[in-house]
Amino acid sequence: MKLIRKIIFTALILSLGFATTAIKVVNQVNNSEDLLKVLEKTPVTYCSIKDLARVLSTNVYENSEREKIVLYLGDHRVKISAGTSFILIDDAIYQIPAPAITAHNDIYLPSEAFFNILNNTVLPSTAYNSTDNSLIIMPTAFNIHAIQVEEKVNGTIIRIAAQKKFKKKEMSAFLHDNGWFYLTVQGGTVNADEVVKTDTRGIIKDVSVEELAGGVQLAFYLRSDIERHEFYQNKETDEIVVTLWAPLSKSVARIKEVKSQWEIDTIVLDAGHGGKDPGTIGHNGTKEKTVVLDIVKRVGSLLRKNTNVKVVYTRDEDVFIPLWERAKMANENNGKIFISVHANASRDRSAQGFETFLLRPGKTQDAIEVAALENAAIRYEENRADKYKDLTDEGQILATMAQSMFMKESESLAAQIQIELDKELSSPNRGVKQAGFYVLVGASMPNVLIEVGFLSNPTEEKQLRSAQYRQKIANGIYRALIEFKKSREFVMAEG
Ligand SMILES: [Zn+2]
């Protein structure tokens, strides 16, 4: 009965006899052209399903006995049955104006209606032109691109680059018992090639993409439990930001881990000059190298007596150590603070006071002169041209600085040192200054250089010869280190 009806219908169409010979397929993705078979002598163009499968390179399932063909387009199934005007896409039914026709061991469908349905469902990047019977395959316009995963102390942030403003109701997220976290975006089209390149980290073990009818589902396989999740789309960048909060106990553990990384457990004390390099020498013969070694040792013994901090001396006796080697020693010992202690000199014998320097291009002529004086220590070094050839002027010192990330902390350390020394000493507080000191270059930790006083000033030379005075300086530096350590570890615990 069914078969008879079909034969009659086919015969009717054939007898009307209008036709196009083929549908031209323009593939803009790979810039190729092809022809798609059509039924001859039909009033509307009927296209071959098997040939369409070939043109689209899709998998086909065929049941010739039941006159059924299934096209697999991506994750979608398009079921076509001969003799009916219904096609089934996934679980939805669509109607075409005339039934599918069997011919040449194949099934044919009215092309315009069929392609319009495909365009509205599973093939949004195709367009059918009924005037010249052409099918255009366009590159898919993705509106969701790469995914970035950021691991934070108390959770993980997923950043999804998007190029479309989605409505709130178009996005939904849920965590499944099976360990997958799903984010569904209606109207989303994903560049799966970019998404599979996601650099997974934190609790994200795997990422997968599933195209849904009219949207997309991004799935994230989680390594561990999460406390809760939230997401929003950034109004300016259109980025979709998902936050997965780690359970509280886990984040406490992680905070502890981070804290221990940043804990100030090692302080590197650098006494300027030494050995064949005496540093500056006062009118009464007081040598900078001797004064500063004594101060540094007093600071070190206060730290050892009162804290668990490990103290590293770049030198603990009267030996010569090149400037470049001092920051290297600090790095190798995992120092968390580097302080270099010096005494100053000036042609102006009335100049006096204490100051702390940061490594930055010198702002004032005075600061530049201090740096020039301290940097001159390299004249005692052999093969120095190799070590400092990139550091010939202050601008270049900055360029090679790997330490700008420590600048803020160096600033607060320097400020603290000035505050504490001011409490101990009656000589003038010359403040925090900046200049390019070779000895600080390359120290991967907060670092400062202290000029404790002027050996060129008769009063200060006399004071610096006194053990009591040097102890006062050491007390001030020690307290500044303790205050800095406390404040920094507090900030880390909060962060
Ligand atoms: Zn010096």
Distance 272 CA to ligand 1 centre (A): 5
Distance 454 CA to ligand 1 centre (A): 10
Distance 248 CA to ligand 1 centre (A): 50
Distance 268 CA to ligand 1 centre (A): 17
Q: Both 286 and 148 in a single domain? A: no
Distance 279 CA to ligand 1 centre (A): 5
412-431: per-residue pLDDT in tens? 999 999 999 999 999 999 99
Distance 315 CA to ligand 1 centre (A): 14
* Rg over CA atoms, the chain: 39
Q: Both 162 and 133 in a single domain? A: no
Distance 115 CA to ligand 1 centre (A): 83
DSSP β-ladder status, 447-454 and 337-344: parallel
CA-wise closest residue to 203 among 162, 254, 160: 254
Distance 23 CA to ligand 1 centre (A): 86
Q: Both 153 and 48 in a single domain? A: no
Check residues 192 and 289 and name the one with the higher pLDDT.
Answer: 289
Distance 19 CA to ligand 1 centre (A): 97
CA-wise closest residue to 47 among 55, 38, 34: 38
Per-residue pLDDT band at 191 (split at 50, 70, 90): confident
Strand partners, 217: 184, 210
CATH number at residue 116: 3.30.457.10
CA-wise closest residue to 292 among 224, 346, 345, 219: 345
Distance 374 CA to ligand 1 centre (A): 5
Q: Both 321 and 270 in a single domain? A: yes
pLDDT at 306 over 60: yes
pLDDT at 8 over 80: no
Distance 343 CA to ligand 1 centre (A): 6
Flag whether 255 is in a domain: no
Distance 357 CA to ligand 1 centre (A): 12
How would you list the strands of the sheet with 180-186, edge to edge? 171-175, 180-186, 215-222, 204-212
211-256: per-residue pLDDT in tens? 777 788 999 999 888 888 889 998 888 899 998 887 766 666 666 6
pLDDT at 366 over 90: no
> Which of these three, 137, 159, 190, is where a domain ends?
137
What's the pTM?
Answer: 0.51
Per-residue pLDDT band at 142 (split at 50, 70, 90): confident
Q: Find all residues with CB under 8 Å of 260, minimum gap 6, and list them.
A: none
CATH number at residue 221: 2.60.40.3500
74-88, 253-267, 447-461, range with the lowest pLDDT: 253-267
CATH number at residue 402: 3.40.630.40
> Which of these three, 250, 271, 298, is where a domain ends?
250
Cα–Cα separations (whole angstroms), residue 473 to 117, 272, 422, 461, 467: 85, 15, 9, 14, 10
284-303: per-residue pLDDT in tens? 999 999 999 999 999 999 99
> Which of these three, 250, 282, 317, is where a domain ends?
250
DSSP β-ladder status, 266-271 and 310-313: parallel
Please tell me the total count of domains within the chain. Answer: 3
Distance 238 CA to ligand 1 centre (A): 55
Distance 273 CA to ligand 1 centre (A): 6
Q: Both 313 and 241 in a single domain? A: no
Cα–Cα separations (whole angstroms), residue 84 to 20, 45, 99, 154: 23, 17, 5, 58
Q: Both 328 and 472 in a single domain? A: yes
